[in-house]
């Protein structure tokens, strides 16, 4: 591409030019939406800082708006920002190539503290019932090197991950929804949880996790499933760390 065409192209799609991993058919936010995305991403991070990591996993949308309105260190969400978050929650992500089921139907979804169990030293929660039973058994069967890396995520937490992923992909909705479930479509909101190997850090969220002893042991267990296998029909990347509660 000559310089003149390159400039014309960047003027139309300033975000696309920066993303070498993008495909030609990928869908991007438009300029106004990109501006909204950057402002909500920063504001949601301020909410997280205010309420703390563990509480942020459970906080409702209503409480998020309340804190933002009442603390000048966060600042109230504008009407346009709220409408944008609403759109991200309620729109159909099939347009971006995400075919997973809808798991949550109300942006104001509430997770009650009595429904969940906080797991010490993790900052995460697991739903009481089958999920907690599975997690407890997993620790016994695989051993103490198996750790909880993400548990219950209410809508705002999932929104925050999604928004931040869209930010990191420079507005590429197709790429973002391949690696993080859109906010109304996460099984973390109703049951599932992620595990990893102690000391492995970010590698726990890569395909490398499938090469660990912990993963090998997990594969022998019949009381859990793997939600996102290789080439799953949901259009989600391979996630060996994501435990399906069955
Ligand atoms: Zn997960």
CA of 9 to the centre of ligand 1 (A): 36
Is the confidence at residue 1, as pLDDT, over 80?
A: no
Q: Rounded to the nearest whole angstrom, what is the distance from the C-alpha of residue 193 to the centroid of ligand 1?
A: 6
Between the CA of residue 160 and those of 13, 105, 116, 141, what are the distances in Å?
Answer: 24, 17, 20, 33
Return the closest-CA partner of residue 187 out of 143, 225, 133.
225
Q: Is the pLDDT of residue 221 over 70?
A: yes
pLDDT confidence of residue 4: 40
Question: Residue 95: pLDDT band by 50, 70, 90 thresholds?
Answer: very high
**Per-domain residue ranges for the chain?**
25-111+155-181, 115-151+192-246
Gap between the Cα atoms of 161 and 167, Å rounded: 10
Determine whether 199 is exposed, middle or buried from the number of CB atoms within 10 Å of its CB (0-12, 13-18, 19+). Answer: exposed
The pLDDT value given to residue 10: 42
- Asked if residue 30 lies in contact with residue 55, where contact means CB atoms within 8 angstroms, the answer is no
pTM comes to 0.90
The pLDDT score that the predictor gives to residue 28 is: 97
Arithmetic mean of pLDDT over the chain: 92
What pLDDT is recorded for position 241? 97
What would the 3-class secondary structure string for 52-72 be? Answer: CHHHHHHCCHHHHHHHHHHCC
pLDDT in tens, 10-41: 434 545 545 556 788 999 999 999 999 999 99
Q: Which two tokens stand for residue 95?
A: 């347009």
Tell me how far the alpha carbon of residue 235 lies from the centroid of ligand 1, in angstroms: 14
Biggest CA-to-CA distance, the chain: 63
Tokens of 35: 């501006």
Quote the CA–CA distance of 130 and 193 in Å, as a whole number.
12
Tell me the pLDDT band of 6, cut-offs 50, 70 and 90: very low
Write out pLDDT tens, residues 48-88.
999 999 999 999 999 999 999 999 999 999 999 999 999 99
Task: Check if the beta carbon of residue 65 is closer than 8 Å to that of residue 59.
Answer: no
Question: Which residue in 124, 103, 119, 131 sits closest to 244, CA to CA?
Answer: 131
Tens of pLDDT, residue by residue over 119-154, are 999 999 999 999 999 999 999 999 999 999 999 999
**163-171 average pLDDT score:** 97
CB 148 within 8 A of CB 140: no
Report how far ligand 1's centroid is from the alpha carbon of 14 (Å): 31
- Helix (H) or strand (E) holding 116, with range, is strand 116-119
Mean pLDDT of 87-115: 97
Query: pLDDT value at position 116?
Result: 98
63 C-alpha to center of ligand 1: Å? 24
What is the pLDDT at residue 202?
95
Sequence-ordered alpha helix ranges (H) in the chain: 3-12, 31-51, 53-58, 61-70, 79-90, 130-142, 155-168, 173-179, 213-219
CA of 51 to the centre of ligand 1 (A): 22
The tens digit of pLDDT for each residue in 185-211 reads: 999 999 999 999 999 999 999 999 999
**Would you place residue 2 in the very low, low, confident or very high pLDDT band (cuts 50, 70, 90)?**
very low
pLDDT above 50 for 8: no
Closest CA to 143 of 213, 242, 204: 213
Closest among 243, 199, 184, 245 to 218, alpha carbons compared: 243
């Amino acid at each position: 591409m000559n310089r003149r065409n390159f400039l014309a192209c960047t003027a139309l799609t300033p975000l696309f030019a920066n993303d070498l991993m993008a495909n030609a058919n990928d869908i991007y936010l438009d300029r106004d939406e990109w501006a909204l995305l950057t402002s909500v991403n920063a504001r949601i991070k301020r909410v997280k800082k205010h309420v703390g990591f563990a509480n942020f996993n459970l906080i409702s949308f209503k409480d998020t708006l309340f804190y933002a309105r009442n603390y000048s260190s966060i600042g109230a969400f504008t009407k346009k920002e709220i409408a944008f978050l609403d759109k991200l929650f309620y729109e159909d992500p099939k347009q971006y190539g995400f075919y997973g089921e809808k798991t949550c139907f109300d942006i104001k979804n509430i997770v009650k503290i009595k429904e969940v169990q906080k797991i010490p030293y993790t900052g995460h929660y697991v739903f009481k019932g089958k999920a907690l039973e599975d997690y407890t058994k997993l620790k016994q069967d695989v051993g103490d090197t198996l750790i909880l890396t993400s548990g219950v995520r209410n809508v705002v937490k999932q929104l925050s991950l999604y928004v931040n992923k869209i930010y990191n992909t420079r507005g590429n909705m197709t790429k973002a929804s391949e690696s993080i479930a859109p906010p109304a479509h996460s099984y973390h909101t109703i049951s599932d949880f992620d595990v990893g190997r102690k000391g492995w850090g970010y590698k726990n969220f890569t395909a490398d996790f499938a090469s660990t002893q912990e993963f090998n042991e997990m594969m022998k267990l019949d009381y859990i499933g793997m939600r996102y296998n290789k080439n799953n029909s949901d259009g989600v990347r391979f996630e060996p760390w994501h435990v399906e509660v069955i």
